[in-house]
C-alpha cells in the first residue's frame, strides 16, 4: 500500500467497498448476516489522534481482533475509494441520511456502525447494489472530496 494520502485533520469519511460475492458474515454482537455482492459505503467520523488518515489506515488493514463493525466486513470486501470532509462537526449522520435517498440505496444490517449514533440512523453502512457511479454519489452528497484507494 502506498503512503497515506488522506488528511490528518479531524473530520468525516465514507469508505466505499466492493464485496465480490454474497457472503454470510458474523458482525460481532450483531450476529450473522447475509451480505449481497455489490457496493457498500461505511460512514464514520474521525475525531481521534491522526484524524481521517489514522481512521482510514485502520480500516484498510485486517485485524485478528475486530474492534468496529467494519472490521468484521473488511476481510471480505475490497476498499475502492474514500469520501472525506475536514470539518469540526460530525456530519456522518447527514451523509447517511442523504445517501439513503440515492437510487437503489438500502440498509443491509440494522445497527451496523451506528451503535453510538444520536440522530436515529438505521445504520452507517449502506448497500447500493451491483452498480454505483461514484461521481453521481459525490454530487448527491454535496461534492465532498474523494480519492480512489491504491492498495498496490
Is residue 119 included in any domain, yes or no?
A: yes
Specify the number of domains making up the chain.
1
Q: Is residue 19 assigned to a domain?
A: yes
- Asked if the structure places residue 81 within a domain, the reply is yes
Q: Is residue 5 part of a domain?
A: no
Q: For 72-97, what is the mean pLDDT?
A: 91
Encode pLDDT of 89-105 as tens digits. 778 999 999 999 999 99
Residue 132, in any domain of the structure: yes
40 part of a folded domain = yes
Buried b (16+ CB within 10 A) or exposed e, 30-61: beebebeebbbbbbbbbeeebbbbebbebbee
Predicted pLDDT of residue 1: 47
Q: For the residues 23-47, what does the mean pLDDT come to?
A: 95
pTM of the model: 0.92
Q: CB neighbours (10 Å) of residue 5?
A: 11
* 144 is a domain residue: yes
State the residue range of the domain holding 28.
11-148
Distance CA 43, CA 123 (A): 9
Classify residue 4: in a domain, yes or no: no
Amino acid at each position: 500500500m502506498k503512503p497515506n494520502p488522506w488528511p490528518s485533520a479531524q473530520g468525516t469519511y465514507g469508505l466505499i467497498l466492493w464485496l465480490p460475492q454474497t457472503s454470510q458474515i458474523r458482525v460481532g454482537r450483531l450476529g450473522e448476516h447475509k451480505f449481497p455482492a455489490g457496493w457498500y459505503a461505511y460512514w464514520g467520523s474521525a475525531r481521534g489522534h491522526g484524524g481521517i488518515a489514522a481512521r482510514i489506515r485502520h480500516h484498510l488493514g485486517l485485524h485478528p481482533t475486530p474492534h468496529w463493525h467494519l472490521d468484521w466486513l473488511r476481510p471480505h470486501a475490497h476498499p475502492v475509494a474514500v469520501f472525506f470532509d475536514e470539518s469540526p462537526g460530525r456530519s456522518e449522520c447527514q451523509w447517511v441520511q442523504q445517501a439513503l435517498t440515492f437510487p437503489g440505496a438500502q440498509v443491509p444490517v440494522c445497527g451496523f456502525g451506528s451503535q453510538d449514533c444520536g440522530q436515529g440512523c438505521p445504520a452507517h453502512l449502506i448497500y447500493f447494489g451491483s452498480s454505483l457511479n461514484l461521481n453521481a454519489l459525490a454530487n448527491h452528497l454535496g461534492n465532498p472530496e474523494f480519492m480512489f484507494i491504491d492498495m498496490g
